[in-house]
Amino acid sequence: MPRVLRFTEEQIAAAKRYAAQTPPSDLDPRIEALVNDLIGQVADRWTMLILEVLAEKGVLRFTRLSELVEGISQKMLTQTLRHMERDGLVKRTVHPVVPPKVEYRLTQLGMNLGAAFCGVWVWAAENLKHVEQARGAFDKKGRGAGRA
Amino acid sequence: MPRVLRFTEEQIAAAKRYAAQTPPSDLDPRIEALVNDLIGQVADRWTMLILEVLAEKGVLRFTRLSELVEGISQKMLTQTLRHMERDGLVKRTVHPVVPPKVEYRLTQLGMNLGAAFCGVWVWAAENLKHVEQARGAFDKKGRGAGRA
DNA sequence: TTCTATACTTACCAAAAGGAGAGTATCGGA
DNA sequence: TCCGATACTCTCCTTTTGGTAAGTATAGAA
């Protein structure tokens, strides 16, 4: 499912650029809160999956998207796409024909976000085993001792 | 709130390393699903905030954490810390004294995850204005036309 | 003897997320 | 004349999430 594993060289380069920046030093708390909110909205399960498939496939119509994003309901697909459109992550193009034809593609902003997430996907792919080991250890020895 | 803006040079370097890797080519879908789940659990609001304050402060006790992670309830703090401990992101150290003393710190795995998220924080900080603009535009002209 | 500090746990309840499935509009084709 | 295709929207209902508030254990201080 993490189609990000097929991110283009260009996208990976963008991820590098993001990670390479020394983050700006302290901002005013108002901004910090906004950044926080923004991440909260964007780090959502469906948003990330849609980001992935659009990054991989380029342009997709509604029905195709619903097939590619496994397990998503129409309701959530519509809702998530609207949010992403509102945030400027995807471009929605309506062709006024019958039956309707609507195309979705990532904006530059969306692609940049995908690139920024790339590091997280890589982390997850690399450390899956470590996490599973940690869970196994926790579940076995955690029970029965150590709780305050 | 995004204390990641004060991430150390070392952590930023780690982020670079993550983003610099060409992600492994296609894996079997089982793995992909697991990576997906893992990200879903880890990209949670409280997990990210706790990751931040621990990355910044190093070692913290329960009550101090609850003060620093603004708005978190005891319940969610305990719950999130348990999950993070189980996943091997934080180390929990109990000192058998009265009143109880319990310390939390990030593991290497946790620090790496923080580094991987760094790119996303930077994206959010940089593109906050773009997103706000997009929202403004959407809310104004979006209503009334364009829906299929 | 009662109070305090710490790190929780538990029970209860309200709000939000999200799934299922039906409904809608329109035109060309059988 | 009725069906099918597309991209939704709407309603109803269940599940999940998360907050609040109270309870617990213990040793030393007052």
Task: Report the predicted TM-score, pTM, of the whole model to 2 decimal places.
Answer: 0.84
Chain B residues near residue A28 by CB distance under 8 angstroms: none
Distance in angstroms: CA A48, C1' C8? 34
pLDDT digits (tens, 9 = 90+) for B57-90: 999 999 999 999 999 999 999 999 999 999 999 9
Collapsing DSSP to helix, strand or coil, A91 comes out as strand
Chain A residues near residue B16 by CB distance under 8 angstroms: 16, 19-20
Q: Give the separation between CA B95 and CA B1, rounded to whole angstroms.
A: 30
Cα end-to-end span (Å), chain B: 39
Burial class (CB in 10 A: 0-12, 13-18, 19+), B66: middle
Collapsing DSSP to helix, strand or coil, A117 comes out as helix
User: Which of A62, A94, A120 to probe by mutation at the B interface, max B CB count within 10 Å?
Assistant: A120
Are the Cβ atoms of A1 and B33 closer than 8 angstroms? Answer: yes
Highest mean pLDDT (candidates A16-30, B33-47, B84-98):
B84-98
Q: CB distance from A111 to chain B under 8 Å?
A: no
- Inter-residue contact B118 to B17 (CB < 8 Å): no
pLDDT confidence band for B141 (50 / 70 / 90): confident
Q: What is the pLDDT of residue A64?
A: 97
pLDDT confidence band for B13 (50 / 70 / 90): low
Find the closest chain B residue to A40 by CA distance.
B45
Q: What is the pLDDT of residue A143?
A: 54
Chain A residues near residue B27 by CB distance under 8 angstroms: 5, 125
Q: Give the separation between CA B8 and CA A29, rounded to whole angstroms.
A: 20
pLDDT digits (tens, 9 = 90+) for A99-133: 999 999 999 999 999 988 888 888 888 899 999 99
Distances (CA, A) of A109 to A34, A146, B19: 17, 46, 18
CB neighbours of B107 closer than 8 A, spacing ≥ 6?
Answer: B88, B89, B90, B91
Q: Which nucleotides of D are covered by protein (CB under 7 A)?
A: 4-11, 18-22, 25-27
The tokens 């923004």 sit on which residue?
A38
- Is A62 or B7 the better-scoring residue by pLDDT? A62
Q: CB distance from B35 to chain A under 8 Å?
A: yes
pLDDT digits (tens, 9 = 90+) for B107-139: 999 999 998 888 888 888 889 999 999 999 999
Give the residue nearest to nucleotide D26 (CA to C1'): B98
Q: CB distance from B23 to chain A under 8 Å?
A: yes
How many A/B residue pairs have CB atoms within 8 Å? 215
Are the Cβ atoms of B19 and A25 closer than 8 angstroms? Answer: no
